[in-house]
Amino acid sequence: MATEIWDILIIGGGPAGLSAAIYAGRARLSALTVEKDYGGRGMIASSERVDNYPGLPGIGGFELADSFRRQAKALGAQFAEAEITAIIPEEGGFRLTQKRGGDLRARTVIYAAGCDHRRLPVPGTERMGVSYCAPCDGAFYAGKAVAVVGGGDKALDDALYMANIAETVYLICRSQPRAARLLTEQAAARENIVLLSETEVVSIEGDMRVTGLRLRDREGERILPVSAVFTAIGMVPHTDLLRGLIPLDGEGYAVAGEDGMTPVPGLFVAGDVRVKPLRQVVTAAADGANAVMAAEHHLRAI
């Protein structure tokens, strides 16, 4: 049996990939969306509540992404659970290798693999109790002392979320918090949020589980006993597969305009992986739609 050649191979089942799947379905293009995480719906699925997606205030993150996926399915979208490990341009399109073996072939590729949480560059990040998502893991630490590391909106959001659950929340910032004023004021008003500014994490202590953090400030080093550490120090784009294929900026984001076009004909990028001023569901969804339109033009041209 000849291997199927998809019109569009979409890498990533988050808002950008799912929006691309919806637009590809409506354009009657044959498209396969490949997602590496079982049941994955992208980063937003870990968010408890989304208040800024137009028309759906207060919707749960999973519910929002799942409704994208159901809409794509209803339009005939096909999904596969697999991790793509390489994108190889070849005559007439691309060959894509998968972690579990077996190649896929496509005339165009929309790369929408999103970002990952930046890890603290210290020993101990593999211990149980190190989390990147307060709404996902926070409930395990009810009544305990926990730490949140970071000074941006997400760190303050996580600290406020944990203040309702934990006994004490230590908010650890290398300098001073730089979050939106409202969040900073809300955090300052909570008696159980303790701000430790100008403080660095040296290591995460414990055996299997986190038991504390070694901190360094102007007075020297000390151990702060905590049961969990929520890390909110930014994101790293999943662009390793694009390295050497297309230009990336200094932080590793794919350099491409709103249509997602790259210097490799037929390869488009969409969503949080792309250089852009705002990384949100609404902009990721817009990217997915624009990339399909660009891919459709490319398909017509070839």
Ligand X SMILES: Cc1cc2nc3c(=O)[nH]c(=O)nc-3n(C[C@H](O)[C@H](O)[C@H](O)COP(=O)(O)OP(=O)(O)OC[C@H]3O[C@@H](n4cnc5c(N)ncnc54)[C@H](O)[C@@H]3O)c2cc1C
Size of the site for ligand X (CB under 6 A): 35
Binding mask 117-146 for ligand X (x = CB under 6 A): ----------------x-------------
137 a catalytic residue: yes
**113 belongs to the binding site for ligand X (CB under 6 A):** yes
Q: What's the token pair of residue 295?
A: 């891919």
From 8, 32, 84, 110, residue interacting with ligand X (rule: CB under 6 A): 84
**83 belongs to the binding site for ligand X (CB under 6 A):** yes
Integer angstrom CA distances of residue 259 from 14, 205, 270: 18, 46, 8
Beta bridge partners of 246: none
Query: Which CB atom, from 95 or from 214, has the smaller least distance to ligand X?
Result: 95
Integer angstrom CA distances of residue 154 from 58, 234, 283: 17, 9, 18
Phi, psi of 169 (to 5 degrees): -120, 115
133 a catalytic residue: yes
Beta bridge partners of 149: 172, 231
- In the bound complex, what is the minimum distance in angstroms from residue 211's beta carbon to ligand X? 25
From 280, 293, 296, 299, residue interacting with ligand X (rule: CB under 6 A): 280
- In the bound complex, what is the minimum distance in angstroms from residue 219's beta carbon to ligand X? 33
- In the bound complex, what is the minimum distance in angstroms from residue 29's beta carbon to ligand X? 19
Q: What's the token pair of residue 248?
A: 């990336």
Residue 153 buriedness (CB in 10 A; 0-12 / 13-18 / 19+): middle
Query: Which CB atom, from 212 or from 237, has the smaller least distance to ligand X?
Result: 237
From the candidates 133, 173, 272, 287, give the one annotated as an active-site residue.
Answer: 133
Contact predicate 43/135, CB 8 Å: no
Contact predicate 187/160, CB 8 Å: yes
Query: Which CB atom, from 59 or from 202, has the smaller least distance to ligand X?
Result: 59
**Catalytically active residues, by annotation:** 133, 136-137
